Structure 1
Amino acid sequence: MSNGTIEGKQPLSVQPGELRTFLQALRGDILRDVDRKLFKAIDSLVMELELKQRKTQNGIKEIRSPEKKEEKPKELPPKEFVLRNSTLTNLWEVTHLRSVYNICLAMFVLLYLNITIFYSLDSAKLNKDISIVAWTFGKFYIVTAVWFGMNFSIVFLLYPTFRFWATTRSEVVKKKGLYDTMFTFLFFIYQMGLLLIPANIIVSYNLPPVSSFTVLAEQSRLMMKTHAFVRENASRALRYKPHQDGDKEDSKPCPEVGKLIYFLFAPTLIYRDHYPRTPHIRWSYVAWNFLQVLGCILGAYIPCTHFIVDVFNKIGIEPIPLVNFMGVLAMSVFAGGLLMFLVFYGMFHCWLNAFAEMLRFGDRMFYDDWWNCTSFAKYYRSWNMVVYDWLYSYIYRDMYTLLGKSRVGAMLVVFMISAIIHEYILAVCFKFVFPLLFILFSTFGIILVFITRRRTSSFWNVFLWGSMFQGWGLLTVFYSMEWYARINCSRTLDSWLDYVVPRSFTCDVISLPS
């Protein structure tokens, strides 16, 4: 041993930069792990307190045997809101992952520059593509009018009706059940009107795809919000007794209209009187998120024009050779995958975070780390947690109770309802029924849930990614084929069957080799 060395070996040394990088990555892992465990602990604590409260109210004394293990509660816990960031917001704080974001941003900037140079050299192509984009966003004044109509109907029609029922039902002495049934019937009529009137406007005015999708997305969102508002506050009205705890806000039979208006714009489908709130609004963060939404829209325009329009616009006029079609099907994986990323990042991260920041909405867990999933069950729960929370709170929990605590039966009901809603949106948006999404969702989606159940190896994560890319690619190809087949191919059915029978099946779309 000499000069601080052992047996002639050089001493170990750590560079400050390497240590900083390691500690930053370790910090991100610790924060994610603590956030996940803390959320689970809060859920368990709240659920245990609710169970104890119910047992105390029912006069049941809890007796624990030291020899027997504590049984898990059979009741499903409700949705709880906590103050937390989105998953990607936390991940961007890690230097390595922030570099991945910067790489993607640089690639998109270079892509936009190349497209700009391309259009500057080909003005005819620029005018053609601009006209297509202008058409897809056309008649937006009708979209604006329908949007205002739906929101105003909730504030000025549904809310006064619900408030009148909630505040006067305690005064009804006889036939209170009939009074409640009448309100339930009126609410059903309102929901049917909210479903049928916008769809009829879309078909009557022949709105283009993007405008139609905007109306249908808002229609679905508002229908789920109105259901949540009535569902959460109907039990409050049923429990209400006048002159009892009148000073408490929760004892009122109906919340103020301001809480409903906040809920209509809040990035959640679960109604609460109060949500976790952030202390202030970062307007620069709001502007940056909306700018990224615009970038995602421009990014989606590129695969839509260069892959869909330029490839399928001659469907029905010139048959595609089978070899070329197989090449298109292979390339659809990349186009569908790009659209999947842009929809996720632009909608579930940027758009929802921008509105959450403007409203100081604290719980921003709009999605989870679905990219790490090895099972489709967890992927469906993590991809869009806003809709998942609604399905869990108002469909799954009810079906779980009605079907005798059957999780599989409740899951199948949720899958069927979700598949029907998705197919309804696409059918009204495109003005034809092509049930590919319904089939993939209601059959293969359910089968893959059971196949990948309790799978943890990395192979199943690769399998999940491959399935997602292939699914989005198939949807892109076949819906594009059917769209242009209905433009270029002559109509063969004069009845309503023309909207149900795919025209691409009867049209000369693919030429087989001789």
Structure 2
Amino acid sequence: MAEMHNLVRRQKDISNHKNSSTKDLPKLERSSSDESNQQVVKKKIFQERISLLDDYHASSNLNKSDYRGFYTAGIIFGFFFLSVDPILRYLNQGEIFPLVFINSFKDDFFLCLGHWPLYYIYSYVALILQKAIVKGFNQKIVSALQILSELFLFAYSYFIIMNRNWGTTHATFISFICCTHYFKLHSYKQMNKQYRETKNPCYPANISLENFTLYMWMPTLVYEHSFPRKDKVDYKYVVYKSSMAAFGILFGYIVCCDYIIPYTSQGNKIYWFETLFRIIFPFTILQMVLFWVVFENILNVFGELTRFGDRCFYQDWWNSTTFEEYNRKWNRPVHTFLYRHVYLECIENHKFSKKTAQIITFVFSAILHEWVFCLIFRTFKPIMTIFMLQQIPLFAITKHMKDKTSGNYLFWFGMILGPALIAVCYLRLDIPTI
């Protein structure tokens, strides 16, 4: 931010200079690599808007679309599936509801669930440390404590999962809660540092219990002293989205229990490619449903309860023609964090080139993904990292397919095959567990 202010001031001074030879200087400066690194466009990240697949508001993109009927057909399909499946299961197995997952996470259920408020309470360490800086404590010491407090989240998450020998469901819950709180705390630290250094008028008034609590409950991973807000909470909307989330979770649960676990749990009794072929279609359905549950329903519930105005949690990733476009669109909260606190900070604070900053951002994301998968599958197999790194040459190969139908075909081929293949590799490759 400071570099941008200096750049604007320098350009104004140059333009007001009377020497004609000096007036040519901005053109020379813009051609230099340092100047191009500083001229990173900072778009307005947060603005009031409705999510793309919101079928509640008449003004949403979905309700204005000619293809709204396909969305409705998908909901009705899910309703029929949830109605027919219990009947067929009762006729064939004598039970109405599958208990596979329920039996797997009933042990330590409340201990695992209780870690959510535990992580939330721990997050107030960030507020205490910021208040310490405001009161005049040594900034270097406090910054070191802030970094340690963030690393502690990962260390404790690893310890509790391994120590309690938790399975996939518990490990998934804890690892995602850990990452979410890490993103929030790191952004809170970095943005307040920026406010302090640029003498932003909002600072230090924004270092308050109310402001921090509201931020921690908002569906965003990037901190700002203020966000676009709605005037009031629509509780009918909260009930509707909560119901749809429950509907989607139940649908995904049955798909997982009936069409995925029976094949992934057989180990080497069947060939790995048979496992892949058996789960590839239900796995694709499952990931679509989970995306819809989390990004369209759960995040909108938190957004409505906190009156958070910007509901752009995703963009039209299904129209992507390159995987680079998909990475940018499918998970906007994480992308915004990576853009602001990894990519931009590499350029502005550490003076890296844009290309180097992109590589660092990509590697950081790959490492974080691998850490999550390491805990979920309890084994270190750098499969996710390999799959992510192979996207780098794929970006160059598919560059000519951008905005073309062939690119969208290739994208969906990878989306259908990739996740199921990654899951089979983690489950079937014989590498010692940790």
Using structure 2 for the length normalisation, give the TM-score: 0.86
Of 210, 222, 228, 2:169 maps to 210
SS at match of 1:280: coil
The answer on 1:284 being equivalent to 2:236 is yes
Return the alpha-carbon distance in structure 2 between the equivalents of residues 306 and 239 of structure 1. 56
Any conservation in 2 of the 1:137–1:211 contact (CA below 8 Å)?
no
Comparing 429-438 with 261-270, greater Cα deviation is found at 429-438
The answer on 1:76 being equivalent to 2:41 is yes
Unaligned segments of structure 2, at least 5 residues: 17-22, 31-35, 55-59
Q: How many residues align?
A: 414
Residue 37 of structure 1 is matched in structure 2 by: none
Return the alpha-carbon distance in structure 2 between the equivalents of residues 254 and 284 of structure 1. 32
The answer on 1:94 being equivalent to 2:28 is no
Residue 366 of structure 1 is matched in structure 2 by: 313
Return the alpha-carbon distance in structure 2 between the equivalents of residues 367 and 315 of structure 1. 36
Return the alpha-carbon distance in structure 1 between the equivalents of residues 49 and 28 of structure 2. 34
Question: Which residue identity does 1:183 align to in structure 2?
Answer: V
1:356-395 CA deviation, whole Å, 9 max, x = no partner? 1111111111111111111221111001011000000000
The answer on 1:271 being equivalent to 2:218 is no
Question: Which residue identity does 2:395 align to in structure 1?
Answer: V
Residue 446 of structure 1 is matched in structure 2 by: 392
Per-residue deviation at 1:257? 1.5
Return the alpha-carbon distance in structure 1 between the equivalents of residues 129 and 283 of structure 2. 45
- State the percentage of identical aligned residues: 22
Per-residue deviation at 1:54? 5.0
SS at match of 1:278: coil
Question: Which residue identity does 1:230 align to in structure 2?
Answer: K
Question: Which residue identity does 1:86 align to in structure 2?
Answer: S
1:447-498 CA deviation, whole Å, 9 max, x = no partner? 222222252210111110111111012023333436xx8xxxxxxxxxxx83
Any conservation in 2 of the 1:396–1:414 contact (CA below 8 Å)?
yes
Residue 135 of structure 2 is matched in structure 1 by: 167
Per-residue deviation at 1:400? 2.9
SS at match of 1:88: coil
1:260-302 CA deviation, whole Å, 9 max, x = no partner? 1111111111111111111222212111212221222222223
The answer on 1:224 being equivalent to 2:166 is no
What is the 5 A alignment of 1:248-397? 250-252=202-204, 255-316=207-268, 319-320=269-270, 322=271, 325-397=272-344
The answer on 1:406 being equivalent to 2:353 is yes
Question: Which residue identity does 1:194 align to in structure 2?
Answer: L
Return the alpha-carbon distance in structure 2 between the equivalents of residues 396 and 236 of structure 1. 19
What is the 5 A alignment of 1:8-19? none
Return the alpha-carbon distance in structure 2 between the equivalents of residues 230 and 358 of structure 1. 25
1:39-79 CA deviation, whole Å, 9 max, x = no partner? xxxxxxxx9xx9688533786243678xx899687233155
SS at match of 2:186: helix
Any conservation in 1 of the 2:248–2:293 contact (CA below 8 Å)?
yes
The structure-2 alpha-carbon separation of the partners of 1:69 and 1:182, relative to structure 1 and needing over 3 Å to count, comes to: closer
Residue 8 of structure 2 is matched in structure 1 by: 55
Return the alpha-carbon distance in structure 2 between the equivalents of residues 140 and 439 of structure 1. 33
Return the alpha-carbon distance in structure 2 between the equivalents of residues 96 and 145 of structure 1. 44
SS at match of 2:231: coil
Per-residue deviation at 1:211? 2.0
Return the alpha-carbon distance in structure 2 between the equivalents of residues 51 and 225 of structure 1. 25
Cα RMSD (Å): 2.9
Residue 117 of structure 1 is matched in structure 2 by: 87
The structure-2 alpha-carbon separation of the partners of 1:57 and 1:274, relative to structure 1 and needing over 3 Å to count, comes to: farther
Any conservation in 1 of the 2:370–2:382 contact (CA below 8 Å)?
yes
